[in-house]
Amino acid sequence: MKKVLTVAGSDSGGGAGIQADLKTFAALKVYGTSAITAVTAQNTKKVSGVHTLPAEFVSMQMEAVVEDIGVDALKTGMLANSDIIRSVAEMVRKYSLAPLVVDPVMVAQSGDALMEREAIAALRGELLPLAAVVTPNLDEATIFAGREVKTLEDMKFAAKQIFSLGPAWVLVKGGHMDGDTVTDLLYDGSEFRYYSSPRLDVKNTHGSGCTYAAAIAAMLTRAATVPEAVSLARNYLLEALAGGIDVGKGSGPLHHFVRYYHDWN
């Protein structure tokens, strides 16, 4: 049995963060464990509150999992501040935890901030050099690249800039780009790989970034290469998006168990 650890925030609405990650792990037949970095008061429309946990308690959760259950891969999501980022990086180095998938969560889908601005420097310097894969969306790629990312050429520029920070692979996600086709770009420092599909006409996309990164981490435990893991994870994501659930009055969650059932009654 493969074990995958998620280090991320809790979403009280159940669609993103820890909740999305654990559902993804279960759907992809790996055992999921968690270290919660923050608790959010959140639904399908907004984030109305965030309570960040002490960095030392995040480390304590990670250590408890590592020492007993073990970690075959891990994924980070919401890391609210510099102290938490440094603590997570320290644990990754201390226990040689790998492969690490970093989803650089900075802003919720609702537009609410999930990371302190000054924490971005710690993310760049402490965690990205340890990552097997980092998975920024266009907004996050814009922050890392220092210029707006709106086109495929912009995505290539951003991938190169992010790669220079130390991760082994960079996956720039193109879901926020206009057009009928969605293209994600994977870069390893020498070659660009493209993953394209028709844009799905769906409104229930809450937690899609979390799900994608969690699925990549899960697939990496199957001895897949990073390009294979991204392809398999992307296929799963598209299935879950197509089966999205009408919960709440905003952007609802994905159907993480779409491969197993469709009828909720």
Question: What is the pLDDT, as a whole number, of residue 107?
Answer: 65
What CA–CA distance (Å, rounded) separates 202 from 28?
23
Neighbour-count burial of 240, counting CB atoms closer than 10 A to its CB (0-12 exposed, 13-18 middle, 19+ buried)? buried
Residue 138, in any domain of the structure: yes
How far CA 215 is from CA of 146, 147, 157, in Å, comes to 28, 29, 25
Instruction: Give the chain's domain count.
Output: 1
Q: Which domain holds residue 20?
A: 3-242
Residue 254, in any domain of the structure: no
Given a contact cutoff of 8 angstroms between Cβ atoms, the answer to whether 221 and 31 are in contact is: no
| Chain centre to alpha carbon of residue 262 | 25
Residue 250, in any domain of the structure: no
Residue 259, in any domain of the structure: no
Question: What is the pLDDT, as a whole number, of residue 108?
Answer: 58
Q: What is the CATH number for 119?
A: 3.40.1190.20
Q: For every one of its 265 residues, what pLDDT tens digit does the chain have, with 9 covering 90 and above?
A: 999 999 999 999 999 999 999 999 999 999 999 999 999 999 999 999 999 999 999 999 999 999 999 999 999 999 989 999 999 999 999 999 999 999 998 865 655 556 677 789 999 999 999 999 999 999 999 999 999 999 999 999 999 999 999 999 999 999 888 889 999 999 999 999 999 999 999 999 999 999 999 999 999 998 789 999 999 999 999 999 999 999 999 999 999 999 999 988 8
In SS3 terms, 132-146 reads as CEECCCHHHHHHHHC
Residue 255, in any domain of the structure: no
Question: What is the pLDDT, as a whole number, of residue 118?
Answer: 79
How far CA 42 is from CA of 50, 51, 168, in Å, comes to 9, 11, 33
Question: What is the pLDDT, as a whole number, of residue 175?
Answer: 86
Give the pair of three-digit tokens for residue 148.
């707006």
For the chain, how far is it from start to end, CA to CA, in angstroms?
Answer: 31
Residue 174, in any domain of the structure: yes
Give the pair of three-digit tokens for residue 134.
């980092």
Residue 204, in any domain of the structure: yes
Residue 112, in any domain of the structure: yes
Question: What is the pLDDT, as a whole number, of residue 234?
Answer: 98
